[in-house]
Amino acid sequence: MSAKVLLVDDEKEFLDILGERMKLRGMEVKTSSSALAALDVLEKESFDVIILDLMMPEMDGLEALKRIKKNRPELQVILLTGHGSIEKGVEAMRLGAMDFVEKPADLETLSAKIEKARARKMILVERKVEEEIRNILIRKSW
Amino acid sequence: MVDFPQTAGWGILRFFGRISASISHELKNSLSVVNENAGLVEDLALLTAKGRSLDIERVKSLSGSIRRQVKRTDQIIKNMNKFAHSVDMEIKSVDIQEYLELIAAVSARLLAARNITLKLTSPQDRPSIMTSPIFLLYLFWHLIDCCSRWAEPGETLHVDYRGEGGPISIQFQGCTTTNPDFRNDVEGGDLSVLLTLLGCSLDWDSAQPGMNLSFQNNLLGKG
């Protein structure tokens, strides 16, 4: 099963071409040109990983990351940025980002991080399911 | 010769830093598009080598995209260059409209991040004024930065420049906040130093939300 990725960036040309290249590599890709549009998409669909631009109009990547982690803590987020500041990187990790990649990004490196993110999400989902089963067994035990 | 005091030092360095950071961000975005275009050309070449037919129109459109980014990057660098050269001379003849357009261009990313639109209107003739280019840019940026920081997302900032046959004035309108901290923000920092240095005054419009920047005279007293 291929990775399901949501790409979020306000640069439409970048979004379209990166999306096309990721599809050529077998990934299932959806794109959003704003953080607000991405949050709407996340209400309706599930993804393995979100690639999120840090600087966007209306809502920046860090604010979007906070909201994503609040509603979908298992979802892995990789931040893409043209600003490589250490402070932003630390803040992003503190808020729960899986990784922080500087633009222009190398797609092979990004693809490896996406695979790692997908694996991490699967582990988190499995643990959640195990926890739920354990709780059911405890509640139903006699 | 006008003596530029040290008190404006840190504020102006921060201004230069913020503009430089914004420009570098724009350049990175442009490079990212070029990078992905180049990557896709490589991908298509690999697929063609494996037997898939080459979509010539797709290749042409990628080439078009690269050209657009080259044009975009060229303009960004032209603006950066103009901005950098604003410190070449302490006083020179300045086309105010040109400098308003420059500040609008280098602030574009900041304004987009705040979801604010900037609309510049100007008179048909474009008078020049003898003034300090860098401090003029700093003053314009300070006013636009404050207005856009306090404006509601989605608002439009109107910068209306008037100068036909009379004293030059620039109206900054569109920020409708009634928060008193807005006024404190505008009047704080290096504003009073800048107004003195540049020989201008800033008045608050009582009829509608906004302020008026008036240039009393050219620096060095030359008309």
Residue B56 lies in a domain: yes
- A103/A110 Cα distance (integer angstroms): 11
Mutate to test the interface with A, among B33, B65, B66, B76 (most CBs of A within 10 A): B33
* Distance between A11 CA and the closest CA of chain B, angstroms: 8
Q: Are A14 and B37 in contact (CB under 8 A)?
A: no
Residue A111: CB atoms within 10 Å: 17
**Contact across the interface for A56 and B40, Cβ inside 8 Å:** no
Residue of chain B whose alpha carbon sits nearest to that of A20: B40
A103: nearest CB among B29, B47, B68: B29
pLDDT of residue B220: 46
Global pTM value: 0.84
Residue of chain A whose alpha carbon sits nearest to that of B112: A57
pLDDT at B172 over 80: yes
pLDDT of residue A17: 96
User: pLDDT grade, residue B194 (50/70/90)?
Assistant: very high
**Contact across the interface for A57 and B65, Cβ inside 8 Å:** no
Instruction: Find all residues with CB under 8 Å of B45, minimum gap 6, and list them.
Output: none
pLDDT of residue B217: 62
B33: nearest CB among A11, A21, A83: A11
ipTM: 0.85
- Domains in chain A and their CATH numbers? 4-140 (3.40.50.2300)
Indicate the pairing of strand B168-173 with strand B156-162. Answer: antiparallel
pLDDT of residue B222: 38
* Residue at which a domain ends, from B37, B68, B85: B85
pLDDT at B206 over 80: no
- Over residues B159-170, the mean pLDDT reads 79
R_g over Cα of chain A: 16
- Over residues A63-72, the mean pLDDT reads 92
pLDDT of residue B221: 40
Identify whether residues B99 and B207 lie together within a single domain.
yes
Identify whether residues B112 and B189 lie together within a single domain.
yes
pLDDT tens for residues B114-136? 889 999 987 777 778 889 999 99
CATH number for position B153: 3.30.565.10
* Residue at which a domain ends, from B42, B64, B85: B85
- Over residues A102-109, the mean pLDDT reads 92
* Residue at which a domain ends, from B22, B57, B85: B85
pLDDT at B6 over 60: no
Residue B1 lies in a domain: no
Range of the domain at B132: 90-221
- Any CB–CB contact under 8 A between B98 and chain A? no
Identify whether residues B95 and B74 lie together within a single domain.
no
Identify whether residues B27 and B41 lie together within a single domain.
yes
pLDDT of residue B7: 56
Residue B185 lies in a domain: yes
Beta bridge partners of B213: B170, B202
CATH number for position B30: 1.10.287
Domain count, chain B: 2
pLDDT tens for residues B57-83? 999 999 999 999 999 999 999 999 999
Q: Which residues of B touch A55 (CB under 8 A)?
A: 25, 109, 113
